[in-house]
């Protein structure tokens, strides 16, 4: 059932999303929305780390260190997966918080 609070929350989320200055960084953010410069800095740092992992895997493949390259590629794949799961966890917590009655 659609309630007024859910509509207000959806409107607030839409307004926050429409004010993104760098939407490409939301892939590397641990929060669903970039709301402060700290979030942007953390997302930029994680994007830089991902690029470093990508380049180092190419370099290790060039020098034929296949085992090291495999480990680095696994770390590079696990980074966005872990960030996505943390965003989903935060979204579930936010939804659960909205479901609590106001009297509590």
Rounded (5°) CA angle 33-81-88: 45
pLDDT digits (tens, 9 = 90+) for 46-103: 999 999 999 999 999 999 999 999 999 999 999 999 988 888 888 788 777 777 665 5
Which residues contact residue 29 at a Cβ distance below 8 angstroms, ignoring those fewer than 6 apart?
39, 42, 43, 46, 83, 87
What pLDDT score was predicted for residue 17? 66
What angle, 0 to 180 degrees and rounded to 10, lies between the N-to-C axes of helices 66-99 and 37-62? 160
């Amino acid at each position: 059932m659609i309630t007024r609070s859910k509509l207000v929350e959806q409107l607030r989320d839409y307004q926050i999303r429409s004010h993104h200055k760098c939407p490409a960084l939301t892939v590397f953010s641990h929060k669903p929305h970039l709301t402060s410069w700290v979030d942007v800095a953390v997302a930029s740092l994680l994007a830089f780390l991902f690029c470093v992992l990508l380049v180092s895997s190419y370099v290790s493949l060039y020098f034929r260190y296949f085992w090291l390259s495999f480990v680095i590629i696994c770390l590079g794949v696990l980074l966005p997966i872990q960030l996505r799961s943390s965003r989903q966890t935060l979204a579930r917590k936010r939804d659960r918080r909205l479901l609590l009655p106001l009297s509590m």
